[in-house]
Amino acid sequence: MDAIRRAFLIIPREYRKEFFHELYKENLLRIILCSCLIIVIEFIIFVLNGDILRTKFVILAILAFNLLLLPFFIVMRKKINKIPDPLSRSILTVYLIGALLLGCAMSLMSQSYFATMNVYIITLFMISAFIYRPPLENLFIFFSTYLVFFLLIPMYQIYPEAVLILRTNAFIMNLLAWLLARMVYHNKLKSFQNLKLIEESNQMLREMAVRDSLTSLFNHASIYNMLRDEIEKSRVSKRKLCIIMLDVDDFKAVNDQYGHLIGDKVLKIMSGILMETCRTTDYVGRYGGEEFLIVLPNTGMKEACCLAERIRSNIEEADFENEIRITVSLGIDESVEGTSAEDMIRGADHKLYLAKCCGKNRVITDQLRMNL
Protein backbone atom coordinates (compact mmCIF):
# COMPACT_ATOMS: atom_id res chain seq x y z
CA MET A 1 0.00 0.00 0.00
CA ASP A 2 2.83 2.41 0.84
CA ALA A 3 4.47 1.65 -2.50
CA ILE A 4 1.22 2.52 -4.32
CA ARG A 5 0.89 5.74 -2.34
CA ARG A 6 4.44 6.73 -3.26
CA ALA A 7 4.01 5.78 -6.93
CA PHE A 8 0.82 7.78 -7.35
CA LEU A 9 1.78 10.51 -4.86
CA ILE A 10 -1.37 10.22 -2.76
CA ILE A 11 -1.54 13.27 -0.51
CA PRO A 12 -2.17 12.89 3.25
CA ARG A 13 -5.83 13.26 4.19
CA GLU A 14 -5.31 16.27 6.48
CA TYR A 15 -3.89 18.35 3.61
CA ARG A 16 -6.05 17.01 0.78
CA LYS A 17 -8.85 19.57 0.68
CA GLU A 18 -6.59 22.62 0.94
CA PHE A 19 -4.04 21.24 -1.53
CA PHE A 20 -6.57 20.41 -4.24
CA HIS A 21 -8.32 23.74 -3.81
CA GLU A 22 -5.03 25.58 -4.42
CA LEU A 23 -4.23 23.18 -7.24
CA TYR A 24 -7.44 23.83 -9.17
CA LYS A 25 -7.16 27.54 -8.57
CA GLU A 26 -3.72 27.57 -10.19
CA ASN A 27 -4.75 25.12 -12.91
CA LEU A 28 -7.62 27.36 -13.95
CA LEU A 29 -5.27 30.29 -14.40
CA ARG A 30 -2.86 28.17 -16.45
CA ILE A 31 -5.68 26.79 -18.61
CA ILE A 32 -6.92 30.33 -19.28
CA LEU A 33 -3.44 31.37 -20.42
CA CYS A 34 -2.95 28.20 -22.50
CA SER A 35 -6.40 28.57 -24.05
CA CYS A 36 -5.64 32.15 -25.11
CA LEU A 37 -2.34 30.99 -26.61
CA ILE A 38 -4.03 28.10 -28.47
CA ILE A 39 -6.66 30.43 -29.93
CA VAL A 40 -3.96 32.74 -31.32
CA ILE A 41 -1.83 29.91 -32.72
CA GLU A 42 -4.72 27.98 -34.25
CA PHE A 43 -6.07 31.15 -35.87
CA ILE A 44 -2.70 31.78 -37.51
CA ILE A 45 -2.49 28.15 -38.67
CA PHE A 46 -6.03 28.35 -40.05
CA VAL A 47 -5.18 31.46 -42.07
CA LEU A 48 -1.88 30.07 -43.40
CA ASN A 49 -2.98 26.46 -43.94
CA GLY A 50 -5.48 26.99 -46.76
CA ASP A 51 -4.33 24.08 -48.92
CA ILE A 52 -5.05 21.36 -46.35
CA LEU A 53 -8.83 21.32 -46.25
CA ARG A 54 -9.30 18.30 -43.97
CA THR A 55 -7.36 19.79 -41.07
CA LYS A 56 -9.28 23.06 -41.28
CA PHE A 57 -12.36 21.41 -39.77
CA VAL A 58 -10.31 20.22 -36.79
CA ILE A 59 -8.71 23.67 -36.41
CA LEU A 60 -12.17 25.23 -36.40
CA ALA A 61 -13.25 22.69 -33.77
CA ILE A 62 -10.22 23.57 -31.63
CA LEU A 63 -10.96 27.29 -31.97
CA ALA A 64 -14.64 26.79 -31.12
CA PHE A 65 -13.77 24.51 -28.19
CA ASN A 66 -11.46 27.09 -26.62
CA LEU A 67 -13.55 30.15 -27.48
CA LEU A 68 -16.64 28.61 -25.89
CA LEU A 69 -14.88 27.44 -22.73
CA LEU A 70 -12.55 30.41 -22.16
CA PRO A 71 -15.24 32.77 -20.72
CA PHE A 72 -16.53 29.91 -18.58
CA PHE A 73 -13.05 29.31 -17.12
CA ILE A 74 -12.60 33.04 -16.44
CA VAL A 75 -15.86 33.11 -14.46
CA MET A 76 -14.84 29.93 -12.61
CA ARG A 77 -11.51 31.50 -11.68
CA LYS A 78 -13.25 34.54 -10.19
CA LYS A 79 -15.70 32.39 -8.21
CA ILE A 80 -13.32 29.55 -7.34
CA ASN A 81 -14.13 29.76 -3.61
CA LYS A 82 -17.84 29.24 -4.30
CA ILE A 83 -17.46 26.28 -6.67
CA PRO A 84 -17.12 22.81 -5.06
CA ASP A 85 -13.71 21.24 -5.73
CA PRO A 86 -15.19 18.02 -7.21
CA LEU A 87 -17.03 20.12 -9.80
CA SER A 88 -13.85 22.05 -10.71
CA ARG A 89 -12.02 18.76 -10.90
CA SER A 90 -14.59 17.24 -13.26
CA ILE A 91 -14.70 20.28 -15.54
CA LEU A 92 -10.90 20.38 -15.84
CA THR A 93 -10.84 16.65 -16.60
CA VAL A 94 -13.39 17.08 -19.38
CA TYR A 95 -11.41 19.97 -20.86
CA LEU A 96 -8.12 18.06 -20.82
CA ILE A 97 -9.69 14.98 -22.42
CA GLY A 98 -11.28 17.21 -25.07
CA ALA A 99 -7.97 18.94 -25.76
CA LEU A 100 -6.16 15.61 -26.14
CA LEU A 101 -8.87 14.21 -28.43
CA LEU A 102 -8.68 17.31 -30.62
CA GLY A 103 -4.90 17.00 -30.74
CA CYS A 104 -5.33 13.35 -31.63
CA ALA A 105 -7.85 14.28 -34.36
CA MET A 106 -5.45 16.86 -35.79
CA SER A 107 -2.73 14.22 -36.06
CA LEU A 108 -5.11 11.67 -37.59
CA MET A 109 -6.35 14.11 -40.22
CA SER A 110 -2.78 14.84 -41.25
CA GLN A 111 -1.95 11.21 -42.03
CA SER A 112 -2.77 11.65 -45.74
CA TYR A 113 0.12 14.11 -45.97
CA PHE A 114 2.52 13.20 -43.13
CA ALA A 115 3.06 10.04 -41.07
CA THR A 116 3.32 12.11 -37.92
CA MET A 117 1.55 12.84 -34.64
CA ASN A 118 3.25 16.10 -33.68
CA VAL A 119 0.08 17.92 -32.59
CA TYR A 120 -0.94 15.01 -30.37
CA ILE A 121 2.52 14.91 -28.77
CA ILE A 122 2.61 18.69 -28.26
CA THR A 123 -0.78 18.56 -26.55
CA LEU A 124 0.36 15.70 -24.33
CA PHE A 125 3.51 17.44 -23.15
CA MET A 126 1.84 20.83 -22.76
CA ILE A 127 -0.66 19.28 -20.36
CA SER A 128 2.12 17.39 -18.57
CA ALA A 129 4.30 20.45 -18.09
CA PHE A 130 1.72 23.12 -17.26
CA ILE A 131 -1.28 21.42 -15.59
CA TYR A 132 -1.01 19.86 -12.14
CA ARG A 133 -2.93 16.60 -11.95
CA PRO A 134 -2.67 13.57 -9.65
CA PRO A 135 -0.73 10.76 -11.42
CA LEU A 136 -3.65 8.34 -11.24
CA GLU A 137 -5.96 10.81 -13.01
CA ASN A 138 -3.32 11.57 -15.64
CA LEU A 139 -2.87 7.85 -16.22
CA PHE A 140 -6.56 7.55 -17.05
CA ILE A 141 -6.64 10.68 -19.25
CA PHE A 142 -3.48 9.93 -21.23
CA PHE A 143 -4.07 6.28 -21.92
CA SER A 144 -7.78 6.58 -22.64
CA THR A 145 -6.94 9.05 -25.41
CA TYR A 146 -4.06 6.83 -26.49
CA LEU A 147 -6.57 3.98 -26.87
CA VAL A 148 -8.60 6.23 -29.22
CA PHE A 149 -5.47 6.98 -31.25
CA PHE A 150 -4.50 3.28 -31.26
CA LEU A 151 -7.88 2.21 -32.62
CA LEU A 152 -8.35 4.98 -35.18
CA ILE A 153 -4.89 5.30 -36.71
CA PRO A 154 -5.39 2.39 -39.21
CA MET A 155 -8.39 4.26 -40.64
CA TYR A 156 -6.22 7.25 -41.59
CA GLN A 157 -2.78 5.71 -42.22
CA ILE A 158 -2.73 3.16 -45.07
CA TYR A 159 0.76 1.77 -44.46
CA PRO A 160 0.86 -1.02 -41.80
CA GLU A 161 4.51 -0.29 -40.98
CA ALA A 162 3.69 3.35 -40.30
CA VAL A 163 0.73 2.32 -38.16
CA LEU A 164 2.97 0.11 -36.00
CA ILE A 165 5.59 2.83 -35.63
CA LEU A 166 2.99 5.50 -34.79
CA ARG A 167 1.29 3.25 -32.23
CA THR A 168 4.62 2.43 -30.61
CA ASN A 169 5.82 6.02 -30.58
CA ALA A 170 2.47 7.23 -29.24
CA PHE A 171 2.70 4.71 -26.38
CA ILE A 172 6.26 5.81 -25.55
CA MET A 173 5.29 9.49 -25.71
CA ASN A 174 2.29 8.88 -23.44
CA LEU A 175 4.51 7.08 -20.95
CA LEU A 176 7.12 9.86 -21.02
CA ALA A 177 4.42 12.51 -20.73
CA TRP A 178 2.94 10.70 -17.74
CA LEU A 179 6.37 10.53 -16.06
CA LEU A 180 6.90 14.24 -16.72
CA ALA A 181 3.45 15.07 -15.34
CA ARG A 182 4.20 12.95 -12.27
CA MET A 183 7.48 14.79 -11.72
CA VAL A 184 5.79 18.20 -12.06
CA TYR A 185 3.02 17.14 -9.68
CA HIS A 186 5.56 15.70 -7.24
CA ASN A 187 7.46 19.01 -7.15
CA LYS A 188 4.22 20.88 -6.54
CA LEU A 189 3.23 18.46 -3.78
CA LYS A 190 6.63 18.67 -2.08
CA SER A 191 6.53 22.46 -2.28
CA PHE A 192 3.09 22.47 -0.67
CA GLN A 193 4.12 20.03 2.07
CA ASN A 194 7.27 22.02 2.82
CA LEU A 195 5.21 25.19 3.04
CA LYS A 196 2.82 23.48 5.48
CA LEU A 197 5.77 22.31 7.59
CA ILE A 198 7.10 25.87 7.68
CA GLU A 199 3.66 27.21 8.64
CA GLU A 200 3.33 24.58 11.39
CA SER A 201 6.83 25.37 12.65
CA ASN A 202 6.04 29.08 12.68
CA GLN A 203 2.80 28.37 14.53
CA MET A 204 4.72 26.33 17.10
CA LEU A 205 7.20 29.18 17.52
CA ARG A 206 4.35 31.65 17.96
CA GLU A 207 2.78 29.32 20.53
CA MET A 208 6.10 28.99 22.34
CA ALA A 209 6.38 32.77 22.44
CA VAL A 210 3.02 33.18 24.19
CA ARG A 211 2.81 29.93 26.20
CA ASP A 212 4.37 28.93 29.49
CA SER A 213 6.78 26.04 28.86
CA LEU A 214 5.74 24.04 31.94
CA THR A 215 1.95 24.39 31.99
CA SER A 216 1.20 25.34 28.35
CA LEU A 217 -0.98 28.16 29.69
CA PHE A 218 -0.43 31.72 28.49
CA ASN A 219 2.76 33.18 29.94
CA HIS A 220 3.03 36.35 32.02
CA ALA A 221 3.46 38.79 29.13
CA SER A 222 0.69 37.21 27.04
CA ILE A 223 -1.97 37.12 29.76
CA TYR A 224 -1.12 40.69 30.74
CA ASN A 225 -1.50 41.90 27.15
CA MET A 226 -4.78 39.98 26.83
CA LEU A 227 -6.08 41.71 29.94
CA ARG A 228 -5.20 45.12 28.49
CA ASP A 229 -6.94 44.23 25.21
CA GLU A 230 -10.06 43.02 27.01
CA ILE A 231 -10.21 46.18 29.13
CA GLU A 232 -10.23 48.24 25.93
CA LYS A 233 -12.90 46.01 24.37
CA SER A 234 -15.08 46.22 27.47
CA ARG A 235 -14.72 50.01 27.47
CA VAL A 236 -15.93 50.21 23.86
CA SER A 237 -18.70 47.60 24.15
CA LYS A 238 -19.76 48.59 27.70
CA ARG A 239 -19.59 44.95 28.74
CA LYS A 240 -18.46 43.66 32.11
CA LEU A 241 -15.01 42.23 32.73
CA CYS A 242 -13.57 40.36 35.73
CA ILE A 243 -10.28 38.71 36.57
CA ILE A 244 -9.38 35.97 39.05
CA MET A 245 -5.99 35.88 40.72
CA LEU A 246 -5.22 32.42 42.10
CA ASP A 247 -2.35 31.16 44.24
CA VAL A 248 -1.54 27.64 45.48
CA ASP A 249 -1.63 27.42 49.27
CA ASP A 250 1.60 26.33 50.98
CA PHE A 251 3.24 25.34 47.70
CA LYS A 252 6.73 25.82 49.14
CA ALA A 253 6.01 22.98 51.56
CA VAL A 254 5.19 20.69 48.60
CA ASN A 255 8.52 21.50 46.93
CA ASP A 256 10.43 21.10 50.17
CA GLN A 257 8.82 17.77 51.09
CA TYR A 258 8.48 16.09 47.68
CA GLY A 259 10.95 17.92 45.46
CA HIS A 260 10.57 20.34 42.57
CA LEU A 261 9.80 17.63 40.01
CA ILE A 262 6.69 16.64 41.95
CA GLY A 263 5.90 20.31 42.39
CA ASP A 264 6.04 20.78 38.62
CA LYS A 265 3.67 17.85 38.11
CA VAL A 266 1.26 19.41 40.60
CA LEU A 267 1.29 22.64 38.62
CA LYS A 268 0.66 20.75 35.36
CA ILE A 269 -2.29 18.86 36.83
CA MET A 270 -3.69 22.04 38.32
CA SER A 271 -3.32 23.83 34.97
CA GLY A 272 -5.35 21.07 33.36
CA ILE A 273 -8.08 21.52 35.97
CA LEU A 274 -8.15 25.25 35.28
CA MET A 275 -8.53 24.69 31.53
CA GLU A 276 -11.29 22.12 32.04
CA THR A 277 -13.20 24.28 34.54
CA CYS A 278 -12.93 27.60 32.73
CA ARG A 279 -15.02 28.46 29.69
CA THR A 280 -13.69 28.55 26.13
CA THR A 281 -14.04 32.35 26.15
CA ASP A 282 -11.81 32.74 29.22
CA TYR A 283 -8.05 33.30 29.12
CA VAL A 284 -5.93 31.34 31.61
CA GLY A 285 -2.32 32.26 32.22
CA ARG A 286 0.52 31.48 34.58
CA TYR A 287 1.30 34.85 36.10
CA GLY A 288 4.39 33.67 37.94
CA GLY A 289 5.57 30.74 40.07
CA GLU A 290 2.44 29.14 41.53
CA GLU A 291 0.26 32.18 40.83
CA PHE A 292 -2.29 32.18 38.00
CA LEU A 293 -4.39 34.89 36.34
CA ILE A 294 -7.72 34.23 34.63
CA VAL A 295 -9.31 36.89 32.43
CA LEU A 296 -13.12 36.62 32.14
CA PRO A 297 -14.53 38.69 29.24
CA ASN A 298 -18.21 39.65 29.32
CA THR A 299 -18.49 38.41 32.91
CA GLY A 300 -19.91 40.12 35.99
CA MET A 301 -18.89 39.64 39.61
CA LYS A 302 -21.60 37.08 40.40
CA GLU A 303 -20.59 34.79 37.50
CA ALA A 304 -16.90 35.24 38.36
CA CYS A 305 -17.58 34.19 41.97
CA CYS A 306 -19.38 31.04 40.85
CA LEU A 307 -16.53 30.11 38.50
CA ALA A 308 -13.91 30.82 41.16
CA GLU A 309 -15.74 28.60 43.64
CA ARG A 310 -15.90 25.76 41.08
CA ILE A 311 -12.17 26.11 40.50
CA ARG A 312 -11.44 26.07 44.24
CA SER A 313 -13.65 23.04 44.80
CA ASN A 314 -12.32 21.06 41.83
CA ILE A 315 -8.70 21.61 42.87
CA GLU A 316 -9.43 20.67 46.48
CA GLU A 317 -11.05 17.40 45.36
CA ALA A 318 -8.43 16.52 42.73
CA ASP A 319 -5.91 13.67 43.05
CA PHE A 320 -2.30 14.84 42.77
CA GLU A 321 1.05 13.05 42.92
CA ASN A 322 1.74 10.99 46.08
CA GLU A 323 -1.83 11.68 47.32
CA ILE A 324 -0.93 15.32 47.89
CA ARG A 325 -3.88 17.52 48.82
CA ILE A 326 -3.83 20.95 47.24
CA THR A 327 -5.92 24.01 48.02
CA VAL A 328 -5.92 27.46 46.45
CA SER A 329 -6.82 30.99 47.47
CA LEU A 330 -8.52 33.28 44.98
CA GLY A 331 -9.13 37.02 44.64
CA ILE A 332 -11.54 38.59 42.15
CA ASP A 333 -11.62 42.09 40.74
CA GLU A 334 -14.09 43.73 38.36
CA SER A 335 -13.35 46.38 35.77
CA VAL A 336 -14.83 49.84 36.30
CA GLU A 337 -14.72 53.00 34.19
CA GLY A 338 -11.15 54.25 33.79
CA THR A 339 -9.54 51.16 35.32
CA SER A 340 -6.25 49.85 33.96
CA ALA A 341 -4.65 46.41 33.81
CA GLU A 342 -2.36 47.40 36.68
CA ASP A 343 -5.34 48.52 38.78
CA MET A 344 -7.22 45.25 38.24
CA ILE A 345 -4.21 43.09 39.00
CA ARG A 346 -3.44 45.15 42.08
CA GLY A 347 -7.04 44.80 43.27
CA ALA A 348 -7.22 41.03 42.65
CA ASP A 349 -3.82 40.53 44.28
CA HIS A 350 -4.95 42.45 47.37
CA LYS A 351 -8.04 40.24 47.72
CA LEU A 352 -5.87 37.17 47.22
CA TYR A 353 -3.71 38.41 50.11
CA LEU A 354 -6.85 38.80 52.23
CA ALA A 355 -7.87 35.22 51.36
CA LYS A 356 -4.49 34.02 52.60
CA CYS A 357 -4.83 36.02 55.81
CA CYS A 358 -8.36 34.70 56.41
CA GLY A 359 -7.24 31.06 56.47
CA LYS A 360 -6.61 30.19 52.80
CA ASN A 361 -8.67 27.88 50.57
CA ARG A 362 -11.30 30.53 49.87
CA VAL A 363 -12.56 33.15 47.40
CA ILE A 364 -12.66 36.86 48.33
CA THR A 365 -14.25 39.72 46.41
CA ASP A 366 -15.28 43.29 47.16
CA GLN A 367 -18.88 42.33 47.80
CA LEU A 368 -18.56 39.07 49.68
CA ARG A 369 -16.33 36.47 51.21
CA MET A 370 -16.93 32.84 50.37
CA ASN A 371 -15.52 30.98 53.37
CA LEU A 372 -15.51 27.27 53.96
Q: Are residues 190 and 235 in the same domain?
A: no
Q: Are residues 161 and 35 in the same domain?
A: yes
Contact 366, 334 (CB under 8 A): yes
Q: Are residues 168 and 19 in the same domain?
A: yes
- Would you say residue 356 lies in a domain? yes
Q: Are residues 118 and 143 in the same domain?
A: yes
Which residues are tagged catalytic?
290
Q: Are residues 360 and 231 in the same domain?
A: yes
Q: What is the CATH number of the domain that holds 251?
A: 3.30.70.270
Q: Are residues 46 and 164 in the same domain?
A: yes
Q: Are residues 73 and 137 in the same domain?
A: yes
Q: Are residues 156 and 255 in the same domain?
A: no
Alpha carbon 199 to its chain centroid, in Å, reads 9
Contacting residues for 61 by C-beta, under 8 A, at least 6 apart: 102, 105
- Would you say residue 212 lies in a domain? no
pLDDT (tens place) for every residue of the chain, 372 residues total: 555 555 556 666 777 888 888 888 889 899 999 899 888 988 887 777 655 556 778 888 888 999 998 998 888 888 888 888 788 888 888 999 999 999 898 888 877 777 778 889 999 999 999 999 888 889 999 999 999 999 999 998 888 999 999 999 999 999 999 999 999 998 988 888 888 889 888 888 887 888 988 999 999 999 999 999 999 999 998 899 999 999 999 999 999 899 999 999 999 999 999 999 999 999 999 999 999 999 999 999 999 999 999 999 999 999 887 788 999 999 999 998 888 999 999 999 999 999 999 899 999 986 544 444
Query: Among 182, 205, 228, which residue terminates a domain?
Result: 205
Q: Are residues 35 and 157 in the same domain?
A: yes
Domain containing 281 equals 220-370
Q: Are residues 225 and 187 in the same domain?
A: no
Q: How many domains does the chain have?
A: 2
Q: 195 burial class (0-12, 13-18, 19+ CB within 10 angstroms)?
A: exposed
